[in-house]
Structure 1
Amino acid sequence: MPSSTSQPQTPDHVTLRAGRYTATTTAAGGALASLRHDDRDLVLPSGGQLGRPAFEGAICAPWPNRVVDGRWEHDGQQHELAITEPDRGHALHGFVHDQRWNLLESTATTARWGLDTQPQPGYPWALTLATAYELDAEGGLTWQVTAQQRPIETGPAGPAPYGVTVHPYFVAGEGPAQDWTLELPAESVLTVDERLVPQDLVPVGEASLDLRGGRMLGEQQIDHAFGGLTERVARLTTPAGSGVEVTWSADHRWVQIFTAQWDARRPRHAVALEPMTCPPDAFNSGTDLIMLTEEPVTVGWQVRAL
């Protein structure tokens, strides 16, 4: 195993190389800025700055997706988060994506970034997080996030509610995303209203969102959380057969699919696949929340080229 390299001052980026893969990770949110196989992007590259409006490559914690209206209750205490999705009025994707992480160690094929969070409005716990990237010539990119509560004198007693996802926009290959096929073995999907507030968990066939056998995306716009996962894998492929495969650890019972139609005048060119440990608005529903103590909790994802 290569020895770690001490970093007296955290750089902005660390680039990893293994075989035909190259990945760039960044101090801005501890995020994945790029992932390539040969000369092909597997994720939509980002500049690696703070404040990425589309959350490209971000780590979304201590909650993924939305807390509706930014309000939630825990142990009889009302909490109010900053509204970070003003057009819909929700608190979106946590807050660690918009903080600078510190490089803990790196080698030619690995990087590990860390962050100690402070209590935030609406989230009075302090956390310690680390994200680890490892690039392998055969298996592609393995990406893990470890979190634990860091007790502080002024913090609340008891475990900290927690959820996490990562937010790459995957690129199958040439051509518009409308021509790509997405395969996700999920039996149910969470319907939403016009503000993307969760409504009902229904069979995928009832919602016309059955991706189990693979489905060409076409013009359908998707921004939904899928559950009832029978396997922990998703594949995005072009008609020519190139593509990307994403797998995840057992802690993830949900996957958000976002077909990324930012501008109706342009073809879609990437699809966000976000394996989540909990569904949208889990701080209110309590569904699949992780309760963090001082014991570390690690979850992970793997990405490889097809």
Structure 2
Amino acid sequence: MTTQDTTTLTAGDAELTVQTWNGCRIGSLRIGGTEVLRQGDHYGSFVMAPWCGRTENGQFRNGGKVHHLPVNNPPHAIHGTVRDQAWRTVRTSATEASFTYDLTEPWPYSGRVTQLFELSENALTVRMGLETYADSFPAQLGWHPWFNRSLGGEDVTLSFDAAWQEERGEDHLPTGKRIAPLPGPWDDCFGMPDGVDVTLTWPGQLELKVAGPEQWVVIYDEQPEAVCVEPQTGPPNGLNTQPRLVTPIEPLEAEMRWEWRTL
């Protein structure tokens, strides 16, 4: 079902709502009538593009040119420019939908972000791409879902096996040193060279796995209402430390899959 601003997909007892007007974020995922995501215009699950997490002092370099981004999380720029913009609906069906957004100021380069959603009875697959037909530029892609800590029963638990943790400095940016994963609470980036694989379990209710081919995931669980599991194509401040160029012949692509079962 599609309205001017919202698209709803259904498969079995799963219902997904995409808020086209609000950054093409997932506004709701209901499984068997139970809402899995934290509600509110700033929550759900939003897109991080064309960068993820914090970019140091709102600055990045492309070749010899330094660019300045809005410092919306002082002293840094955070989470990209598309999370609260209106996207264009390209195609919808009962279980699939695709959307696009054309990058504009304050991002200094032209490009197009595409998102494709595929819903089944027990899984959601989201694919994202970023392409340019003009200048090449460094970029990142990722998602920032807010999962409800409680679904009405016991609080969720997180299970994952990371190869390393990016050491976090006092400025909340990776220091460049990789350390053994530390116990939570977390606002930290972890390395998973074989792909993201994190399981959320609400005891006696639901198990949901977040997976995908990306090698980095940020875990954030410092708020009482929700926990975040954020697959992304590079670490925070990656525009500066691990730039990945988008070129006219090589787009940047990302994929996230949520798979669930009732307990």
| Helix, strand or coil at the partner of 2:199 | strand
Q: CA deviation at 1:141?
A: 1.0
Q: CA deviation at 1:231?
A: 4.7
Q: Is the 2:45–2:145 Cα contact (8 Å) retained in structure 1?
A: yes
Instruction: Identify if the C-alpha distance between structure 1 residues 290 and 244 changes in structure 2 by more than 3 Å, giving closer, same or farther.
Output: farther
Q: CA deviation at 1:71?
A: 1.4
Equivalent residue runs for 1:6-85 within 5 Å: 11-27=4-20, 28-47=22-41, 52=42, 56-85=44-73
Report which of the two structures shows the higher radius of gyration computed on alpha carbons: 1
Using the alignment, how far apart are the partners of 1:186 and 1:234 within structure 2?
Answer: 9
| Helix, strand or coil at the partner of 1:16 | strand
Query: Which consecutive unaligned segments of at least 5 residues does structure 1 have?
Result: 152-156, 210-219, 262-267
| Helix, strand or coil at the partner of 1:69 | helix
Aligned residue identity for 2:72 = T
Q: Is the 2:201–2:207 Cα contact (8 Å) retained in structure 1?
A: yes
Using the alignment, how far apart are the partners of 1:230 and 1:116 within structure 2?
Answer: 31
Q: Is the 1:186–1:230 Cα contact (8 Å) retained in structure 2?
A: no
> Who is 2:232 aligned against?
276
Does 2:104 align with 1:104?
Answer: no
Which is strand-richer, 1 or 2? 2
> Who is 1:141 aligned against?
124
Using the alignment, how far apart are the partners of 1:295 and 1:41 within structure 2?
Answer: 38
Aligned residue identity for 2:126 = W
Question: 125, 129, 133: which is aligned to 1:150?
Answer: 133
Q: Is the 2:18–2:25 Cα contact (8 Å) retained in structure 1?
A: yes
What are the superposed Cα offsets for residues 265-301 of structure 1, whole Å, 9 maximum, x if unpaired?
xxx23211001101011111125x2433254443211
Query: Which consecutive unaligned segments of at least 5 residues does structure 2 have?
Result: none
Question: 217, 222, 226: which is aligned to 2:190?
Answer: 226
Q: CA deviation at 1:84?
A: 1.1
Q: CA deviation at 1:108?
A: 1.1
Aligned residue identity for 1:302 = R
Aligned residue identity for 2:13 = R
Q: Is the 1:185–1:229 Cα contact (8 Å) retained in structure 2?
A: no
Question: 141, 155, 160: which is aligned to 2:137?
Answer: 160
Q: CA deviation at 1:227?
A: 0.7
Instruction: Identify if the C-alpha distance between structure 1 residues 14 and 25 changes in structure 2 by more than 3 Å, giving closer, same or farther.
Output: same
Across the aligned residues of Structure 1 and Structure 2, the Cα RMSD in angstroms comes to 2.3
Using the alignment, how far apart are the partners of 1:185 and 1:124 within structure 2?
Answer: 37
Using structure 1 for the length normalisation, give the TM-score: 0.78
The sequence identity of aligned pairs, in percent, is 27
The count of residues paired between Structure 1 and Structure 2 equals 260
Q: Is the 2:190–2:216 Cα contact (8 Å) retained in structure 1?
A: yes
Using structure 2 for the length normalisation, give the TM-score: 0.90
Aligned residue identity for 2:112 = T
